[in-house]
Structure 1
Amino acid sequence: MAVKNSTKQTPKKKAQSNILEQSKITKASALSSLKTIVPQIFMDAQRPNEHLRSDSIRLRDVQLACCLNSPHLIGELEDIDYEGEALFIKEVFRNINKVLPIRKKEPHADRIVRFIAGFLQYNQQRDGIAKDEFVKLKRRNAKLEAKKKARAEAQRDIDDDPMSEVEEEEEDEEEENEDEDDSMDDDEDDEETISSRFVGSLLRHLLKGFTAKGIFVRTRCCQIIALSISSMGEIDEDLYQDLRTALFDRIIDKEASVRIQAATTLCRLQSADADVDPTDGKTILQKLMWCLQNDPSSEVRRVILFNIDPIAETLPYIVERARDVDAINRRVVYLKPLSDMPDFRMLSLEERNQILKWGLNDRNPLVKKAVSKMLSEKWISHANNNLIEFLERLDIMKPQVTEIAESVLDAFFTARMDIVNDISFDAEFWNNLTPESAFLAKVLIKFLQKDHTLDERLDAILPEVTRHAFNLKYYNDLYRSPTQSAQDYEFITTQMLETAMCLDYADEVGRRKMFELLRDILKSCELSEDHLSKIVRIFRLISLNERDFTRTIIEIIFDIQEQLNNPDELTETPAKKSRLEDSFASSLEISDPVTDMTDPTDIDSLVIRLRCLSISVQNSDVVLREEGLHCLGLCCTLDKTLAQHNVALFIQCIKNGHEGILKKAIVVLFDLMMTYGVQNLTVQIESSDEIREVFEFCIDHDTLEIQAITTEGLAKLMLAKRFQDDEILRLMILLYFFPVTDQDNNKVQQCLTYFFPAYSYSSADHQTSLSNVTILALEELCNTYSDLKSDEIMVNPMQISDMLADWTDPRKLAKLHLNDVTIDDEIKPNVHGRLAIEALNIIYNEPAGLKRKTMCHFILRLYLEKLDTSQLAEIKRLIHAINTERPIKEVLTRNAFTKLLNTIESNIEEYNQENGLDPNPETEKEETEQEEAAAKEDNTEKEDSEKDEEDIEKEADI
């Protein structure tokens, strides 16, 4: 849609023209049957299988008959009949108005809206044809005039150089004709037609509906403009500004359906209008980006994503929507704007990593599929369908990209198996590796190993072990040589080592060759930590067994110790030895645990390990001490006696060690408890409460990571029934609901969010343990909430009480959902009965305040049916006492307690009737006591009255 000036110029008319467009019906017939023809066309247009193009042609025919006095001729202005035009527009608007109040998604109304848009589009096409024919006619006439003048001038007598004068005159005539054509084109652009006049009238009519009270009227008006905006041609500048202002108001309409249509229209105008709205200083594009960020409706955000142009100004907002709460919107991000980019390098490195990481790890499989489609069809085309060039553009050598690049290629291979089947790695490929090609080979081999149906393809591309060992040595030597490409060769060596983990070492010759090569590499001092860890893992893979692996690593460590005598290597060797022991410990973690230590060779191996570890744990070097402690913990998992002997050491490290040692020690302690149980580990500890003190210390630690490690470890121990302590459980409840500040520990929150329901619903004993600390924790949380600071956020205690009541509900036990377990046999509601009694005592003792309200709310959430009669009687007594001595002021709560009391009384009565007991013995006792008290009061009053009478008689006698 273009905007034109409202100033009109008087166009020039041609005397001779041809008929361009003429109605098939007469003017009189059209005007007389206007109220019949137009409604019939609208009726036909709403039919399900109707061809809207033919209906648009019919309505155009009626428009020509009503609005023109004579046929439309090429090169001439339309002879408009303004009275007939007014009648036509009025009748069309009357039929349009019938559609406006109809609710959205009504098929018949939607077809009428599409018909209106189609009619405007057809009118625009007819105007375009008229302009083209006019231009052709002008050029044809100009050529004829030029030829006539040329012949006339050629016959004249020319004294001097006749040919040059003729050429000059012809050039002058051509320039005059061109100037005339340009002026006539300008006049034609400003020509007012019945189509442009209809568009202006329709816009003004629909703008009135933008402020209507009816939701559907506003929606339909915006919908018609949204569908027709591209077919409206040029409109007046003032009218365009009115439309723009109205759309800005509708983009913040309270109804999402209206905002959707307004956003669609503004998206059509985003590239054609950069003017600033004077009310807030924002352009159309900026307003759309604000809606994309803040609009609560997922459909509004989706419409903007579908229609927004992926340019530098919009890409940051588009990337944000990759984390949209709506899965469809996340999918649209990858299928539409990110796929329409001309080059994915328009995204910054950080943005690229974010969208790939979020998309490939999305919980919705359709989003993952959309990412794979974007990578395999769109982004690969940006790199000329070349995988190596694609990896170059991804900059895979950067550490933050390498992590996600493997997932990117996995998704690509999954979507394009045709490329997987075409890839081959020959000798020339392995001899001329680049960082990208080495990475591609590694990822493809790993991908093929995951699917056993592709074993044949894997055998075709997997290199021989011997050949791979030679290639690895070649690139490792290049990496160690002083060259400018050392970083590239380091990356290639890393990929070669990872590829070596995928090889088949059944070939003894290749296995020995790889073994010797890795042994030589380990003995060298110039070795990165990344390479070291991978080499140790390959050693574990090619070793005959764990004993052989352990012996080999220890021999290498001894060889490094011997190198300490060499002063040139003195600065390098200790650090390398520490890294080697770290890698050795990591390999032990992934190896099979050795539980049988009866074999003398195993005991000797363990003794050798401990000799190395005792030196490491006592070393002054922080890193070496941490890794030595880690290795000692791994060895303790292999022998129970060793674990019992060293548990005091781990506890001492937790209490007195620095942060790094503390983290290692607490992890080791949890692993040992999970392996042997708490009771077996505390045999040699002086006090059994020492373990609890350690956990309390770690839960209350200032470091968030230590809190998270402790919480996760305790959750695992309690779920496995390896450790149980009510006080620790209370601290975990307090930690979960404690006020949140800027430094919120998300790891703790996520862990406990899963732990408490799983722990409570898994066992009745767990519910009992939780109920032992429920009231204490709830009281403390109420006090904390009362003292809350302005910068702290905390869950309302009433909501906390809801969760605690739900976790201790005996009906929620997981085993009750089994088919062979009956609810009546398994439910033991004594837990809620005890909690109700404790809460009622607090209500009785608390005169008012948050704690009293919370406890009242808590009691009403408890399951108090099928309790013991003693508990029911006690609850009844406490409620009577509260109602009598300290009644509840809130009407709703008081009524709820009255209803609860009636339920309890009916349960007691029902129980007594079933068991043949006296009905309400407690009530009879209370009534007897009340009668005795009343009798005593009567006797006292009688005695007082007799004394008063005696006194009166004495006074009278006196």
Structure 2
Amino acid sequence: MPPKNKNKFNIELNEASDVHREIANVFQDCQLNPSGFKRNATLLKLIQKKAFESNLESSFNLSFTKLINKVLPVKKSEIVGDRIIKLTTKFIMEIKKDEEKEKELKRKRKLNAKKKNNQNNDENNSEEDHDDDDDEEEEEEDTLCLKFISYFLRHLLRGIDSKDKNVRYRIIQLLGCIVTCLEEIDNELYNNIIWNVQKRLCDKEPNIRLKAVLCISRFQGDEDDEDEHGVNRSTAKLLSILQNDPSPEVRRAALLNIDKSPLTLPYLVERAKDLNTITRKMVYSRIMKEVGDFRKFEKTLRENLLLWGLKDREQSVRNSAIKMFTNQWLSDVNNNLLELIERLHIINSEVAPLAMKYFFQNRSDIVSNMKLDKKFWGNLNAETAFLARTFFNHCQSNNLQEYLEKSFPEAAEFATLISKYFTVRKKIMLEYEQNDPIFLKNINTSNNNTFQSYSNIENELDSQYANDLKEINFIMEQLLTIAKDYDFSDDFGRREMLQVLRSSLTNDKLTDVLIKYTLQTIRKLSISENDFCQMMTEIVSDIRDTGENDINENDKDQDKEKDDEDLDDENGDKSPLKSGSRSPSKSQKKNVEEIESPDVMIQCLYIVKHMLELTRQPLENNIPVSSLLDSIVTTSIRSQNKILREIGIHCLGLGCLLDKQLTIGQLRFFGLCCAKAPEKLQIICLKIIFDILATHGTSVLDIEGNIDTLSMNKLFYRTLKRFNKPKVQALSAEGLCKLYLADILVDEELFETLILAYYNYQNSKNQDLLQALTFCLPVYAFSHPKHQKIMASVAADAFYRLLDNYDEFLDKLEPEDMDTMVEPQQILQNLIHWTNPQNIVNSTEEEQNKSTNHLMIILDLLNGILSGSIDNPKYRKIIIMNLSKFYLAKEINFESLKELNKLISAFSERVIPDCDGISKNSFNKFKTKFAKLFEEAEELNNDKETEKETDASQDSQDQEYVSAFIKESEVESPSKENEIDNHNENSVEGGLKKDVLENENDKNDKNNENDGNDEKDEMNVKVKRENDSFVHIDNLSENNQSEIIEIDSDGDISME
């Protein structure tokens, strides 16, 4: 290190070597003393000025770039490189600042000079001004600062395509820092920098791409460089990086540095679905703050932003989204909660209830101050009703009884409130019907248009009334949602509410959603399920009777009109128009029945549908429900009206879930509808079939005269191959996965069809199907060993068939469509991963080592190659390269390992000689690894055989011991023959594992006149194995004395 000068600002430069030495000293000091950047930058500025005064400007530029060249190869991790770059940036900022000061001083001098001059000739003055401007422009072009920056940038650009990644990194880092300091730049140099930096956006090194993003983001302010859509070209490049770069760090850099504008906002919100958790979190915690007021977002953007954030799988992302909604967005609307709710467009919002749930959970200060008074309840709109419902749900779930009592009315008052809004809804509908007779005429006389349900009647109304009807329906939905969880412990309030709901259900022509909530509330208010079903049956009967009365009244009106027309004809007042418009009374009655009857039937079917959803009792014990199925549902299924058929089939499916016998009789009908009906009806029937199998299992199949398992599997197979109906495909895949996960279905061929559907190119755009299988296939494989075994049994065959599918489409696709096809390499790796026994949850190491899943796949793959099923060298190479990824252990069945060993030998002789070097090396590694494993398995198998032989020999020896004892016992104690025989049998069969032999001998010795006893003593014989050398037999006599009989290894018996 050179000695320090007492005054570093006293510099003398006489030669180029002096310039080089001084710059080198500054660089050296910068590396050793990182805190003196400003002083070192001042030194460099002074050296440059002295060099310029000494006509050594070119020497300064050359020496500076030479020293910078030594920094370029420094690795990213070396901090000295960053220090030099920081010094360079500081130096350029300083000389740029001095240049601006000098320009400002010159401008002030010129202004002062102009004020002192006596302006006699305006033209001369204007010419002088023009000359002065030209001189200033020349001075600007020739300034020391601009010349150095231009020289230095061009020098850096020469090495931006270097093969050394460190050089590329340092150059792009320097360019980014320098461009930040510049306010303007030469056009030619600007285009050169843009061109080269854009190339680095595609660099293979992520850290280089990141620095390129930072550099090109500085050029977004150029209004002259815009495409046909008004987007700056640099911004367009950053948008492409934001969507497509594989590195999350690079995507985050683009996200942070891209201009926030209405054009880029959708792309910024899109990053809320980024694969990287940190990036998703950054969208909510930082980007949205930079964007500003959320009210300038489009409705769809707001909805998606909240939906993706509040339903994110990571808690940290959800917390950031919650904080954004509860704090930032509330602050944007000046803490006006109702305005915040209004901005969510709650009537059709999917995320609004979830957002308010999190809002109340995290803003307890607002909850504690909330109070819903009578004025609030008397003037409900969509926002206030939604606020009441979400607040009620929050209080219910958190048991906040004091808030419920303070803000919500008594049960009877609440029933009156609901009745009031039902009345308002009815008035809105009647008001429009009275003001628009043309609408009623179209409804009553149209024979060609399909009748629409009252749930969609607003589509036929005037827009003003449609909006009013939609809002009042939404208000009623909120109130009924509250009612189904309301406290009706007060019997008077319960009866009032029940009366209101029954009346509305019968007379108010409710929508499907309102019927659903109404029935849920009535079910809660009912005494029992039978009472509920009986009540619904009565309501349906009342609705049908009302409908018949309406038809009769219309018939009377039409007959009266006919009589009036006939009277006019008799008086000679005939009109061709009137005559042509008349029709017979019977025809009119038929038209009225065709139009009015579906209206009543649809409302009744909705009631039956939601009643069945709330019923759990079997149909055989529920007569009211059975009668409704026979009278309403069967009639609707036979109707020509599509809506009636769809709802009727749905109701029939719900009924089948309650009755197994009904299911057996109707399953064939559902299968036929699923095979031949329109797509919408196919989806309904397919859902019903899956629900039936999930409820009743496969016990409803293979019954004589009904559908069998094979036919059902064929049906599922066909639905998976309907590429022109992606919704049916996705539903079939999802339903099959659920049945397989529940072990309801176990067929291997059908499961293989799921794998084929997942990788089939024709399904590459069916995102619903891909999402379902992406989750379900690995979950199924990892959930249980038998699941994984099923997947392993079909993996090889599925791979063969997918290779054929790949070849089939490979020649048909355009190059741009090739990215949508999954490569065979990826397919095989996925199958290996899914069938790896180490991935099974809660599996022990012993179970993993004994698994033959991967061994089974290897045998199938190698046999396929040997048999010629796979003759493409590319595919053979893929299989060989992945052999080492299979999991094999020495504990696997040895006979299977011997089979694989023979197969490897045959493979080495017949296939490997024709392979390339990479395949040979990969196979040899696998072969060496397997040879070692096979040797260990063979030793383990030999140990097991030896152990078995030892056990067999020991068992034989035990039998000899027992036989010797039996013989001796027969000699010494003939009276105990039966006891010893029994002992011998148990000893031989059990291998002396049963130690206690108990026998009771009750014999009468009539020949023994000396003994006066008629019975012999009980004899307990115990056999004990000790030290493998002898057996102890305790002969317990009546005197409790133990007589020990020892049998040594030679079979000799001794008694003690």
TM-score by length of 2: 0.67
Match of 1:359 among 284, 287, 309: 309
Q: 1:559 aligned to 2:584?
A: no
Q: Which moved more, 1:407-416 or 1:663-672?
A: 407-416
Hey, what's the Cα distance between the residues in 2 that align with 1:98 and 1:843?
Answer: 56
- Confirm or deny: 8 A CA contact 1:196 1:233 kept in the other structure: no
Deviation, 1:708, is 3.2
Q: Between 207-216 and 463-472, report the one with greater CA deviation.
A: 463-472
- Maintained 8 Å contact 1:478/1:489: no
Greater displacement, 502-511 / 50-59: 50-59
Give how far 1:562 is off.
0.2
2:521 matches 1:500? no
Alignment of 1:89-168 (within 5 A): 96=68, 98-125=70-97
Given that 1:836 and 1:859 are in contact with CA atoms closer than 8 Å, whether structure 2 keeps it comes out as: yes
Equivalent position to 1:403, from 350, 355, 364: 350
**Structure 2 CA distance, aligned partners of 1:332 and 1:120?**
33
For residues 595-606 of structure 1, the aligned pairs below 5 Å read 602=622, 606=626
Check if 1:578 corresponds to 2:602: yes
Distance change in 2, residues 1:527/1:573 (3 Å): farther
Q: Is residue 207–residue 246 contact of structure 1 (8 Å, CA) maintained in 2?
A: no
How far apart, in 1, do the equivalents of 2:766 and 2:665 lie? 35
2:374 is equivalent to residue 427 of structure 1: yes
Provide the C-alpha distance between the structure 2 equivalents of 1:48 and 1:425, rounded to a whole number of angstroms: 67
Counterpart check, 1:790 vs 2:790: no
- The CA distance in 1 between the partners of 2:855 and 2:186, in whole Å, is 78
CA-CA distance at 1:560 after TM superposition: 0.8
Verify the 8 A CA contact 2:894 2:938 in the aligned structure 1.
yes
Residue 74 of structure 1 aligns with which residue?
none
Instruction: Give the alignment's Cα RMSD to 1 decimal.
Output: 5.0
- Answer yes or no: is the 8 Å Cα contact 1:839–1:859 preserved in 2: no
From 143, 146, 154, give the equivalent of 1:207: 154
State the distance in 1 between where 2:783 and 2:468 align: 54
Q: 1:816 aligns with which of 837, 840, 843?
A: 843
Per the alignment, residue 480 of structure 1 pairs with: 429
Distance 1:897 1:34 in 2: 63
After superposition, the Cα gap between the structure-2 partners of 1:808 and 1:577, relative to the gap in structure 1 and judged at 3 Å, is same
Q: Does 1:593 align with 2:593?
A: no
Residue in structure 1 matched with residue 214 of structure 2 by the alignment: 264
Q: Which has the higher contact order (CA 8 A, sep 6+)?
A: 1
1:329 aligned to 2:279?
yes
CA distance in 2: counterparts of 1:844 and 1:84, whole angstroms: 78
What do residues 72-115 of structure 1 show as CA deviations (whole Å, max 9, x unaligned)? Answer: xxxxxxxx836376676667666655544432354443344334
User: Which is further off, 313-322 or 30-39?
Assistant: 30-39
- Say if 2:284 and 2:320, in contact at 8 Å, map to a contact too: yes
Structure 1 unaligned regions, length at least 5? 1-23, 68-79, 150-171, 919-958
In structure 2, what is the equivalent of residue 535 of structure 1? 518
For the residues of structure 2 that align with 1:256 and 1:489, how far apart are their CA atoms? 56
Q: Name the structure 2 match of 1:890.
A: 915
Q: Distance in 1 between matches of 2:74 and 2:878?
A: 52
Match of 2:729 among 703, 707, 713: 707
**For residues 857 and 194 of structure 2, what CA distance do their matches in structure 1 show?**
64
Distance in 1 between residues matched to 2:518 and 2:121, nearest whole Å: 83
Q: Is the 8 A contact 1:469 1:513 kept in 2?
A: no
Q: Which of 516, 522, 526 is matched with 2:505 structurally?
A: 522
Q: Is the 8 A contact 1:309 1:337 kept in 2?
A: no
**Inter-partner Cα distance in structure 2 for 1:366 and 1:740:** 36
Distance in 1, matches of 2:924 and 2:546, equals 86
| Per-residue Cα deviation, 1:888-931 (whole angstroms, up to 9, x for no partner) | 6337467579655786588557635753699xxxxxxxxxxxxx
Q: For the structure 1 residues 592 and 182, does the alpha-carbon distance in structure 2 shift closer, same or farther, using more than 3 Å as the test?
A: farther
1:236 and 1:693 mapped to 2: Cα distance?
Answer: 71
How far, CA to CA, are the matches of 1:29 and 1:374 in structure 2? 58
Take 1:37 and 1:430, find their aligned partners in 2: how far apart are those partners?
Answer: 83
Q: Measure how far apart 1:725 and its partner are.
A: 2.8
Quick check: 1:624 aligned with 2:644? yes
2:351 aligned counterpart, secondary structure: helix
Partner of 2:962: none
Comparing 325-334 and 836-845, the one that deviates more: 836-845
Other-structure match for 2:437: none
Secondary structure, counterpart of 2:762 in structure 1: coil
How far 1:864 moved relative to its partner? 7.5
1:429 aligned counterpart, secondary structure: helix
**What's the CA shift string for 1:253-309, capped at 9, x where partnerless?**
55444443343333223224524799xx98444444444444444434333322222
**Separation in 2, partners of 1:178, 1:387:** 66
> Which amino acid in the other structure matches residue 81 of structure 2?
A
Counterpart residue number, 1:197: 144
Corresponding residue SS for 1:502 = helix
Partner of 2:1053: none
Relative to structure 1, the CA distance from residue 873 to residue 193 in structure 2 (aligned partners, 3 Å threshold; closer, same or farther) is closer
Task: Report deviation, 1:527.
Answer: 3.4
For 1:340, the equivalent position in structure 2 comes to: 290
Cα 1:828–1:249 change in 2 (3 A) is closer
Q: 1:635 aligns with which of 624, 632, 655?
A: 655
Comparing 468-477 with 513-522, greater Cα deviation is found at: 468-477
CA distance in structure 1 between the aligned counterparts of 2:896 and 2:943, rounded to whole angstroms: 18
Farther off after superposition, 114-123 or 906-915:
906-915
The Cα of 1:28 is off from its aligned counterpart by 5.8
**Residue type matched to 2:656 in 1?**
C
Asked if the contact 2:849/2:889 (under 8 Å) is kept, the reply is no
The residue correspondences of 1:728-877 to structure 2 (distance < 5 A) are 728-737=750-759, 739-741=760-762, 744-767=765-788, 769-770=790-791, 773=794, 777-778=798-799, 780-788=801-809, 790-791=811-812, 800=827, 813-817=840-844, 823=846, 828-829=850-851, 845-846=867-868, 849-850=871-872, 853=876, 857=880, 861=886, 863=888, 865-866=890-891, 868=893, 870-871=895-896
- 2:781·2:788 contact (CA, 8 Å) conserved in 1? yes
Q: 3-state SS of the aligned residue for 2:498?
A: helix
TM-score under structure 1 length normalisation = 0.73
SS of the residue aligned with 1:556?
helix
- Greater mean deviation of Cα atoms: 722-731 or 780-789: 780-789
Q: d(CA) in 2 for partners of 1:911 and 1:385?
A: 76
Q: Residue 955 of structure 1 aligns with which residue?
A: none
Shift of 1:487: 0.9
Query: How many correspondences in the alignment?
Result: 842
Q: Secondary structure at the match of 1:309?
A: coil
CA–CA distance in structure 2, aligned partners of residues 238 and 882 of structure 1: 63
1:303 matched residue in structure 2 = 253
Q: CA deviation at 1:491?
A: 1.7
User: Structure 2: which 5+ runs fail to align?
Assistant: 1-5, 433-463, 555-591, 814-819, 949-1056
Residue in 2 aligned with 1:469?
A: 418
Return 101-110 or 127-136, whichever deviates more: 127-136
Cα distance, 1:823 vs structure 2: 0.6
CA contact (8 A) 1:472 1:496 kept: yes
CA distance in 1, matches of 2:495, 2:65: 90
Equivalence for 2:972: none
Distance 2:861 2:69 in 1: 65
| CA distance, structure 2, for counterparts of residue 47 and residue 365 of structure 1 | 45
Instruction: Kindly provide the amino acid, as one letter, of the partner of residue 574 in structure 1.
Output: P
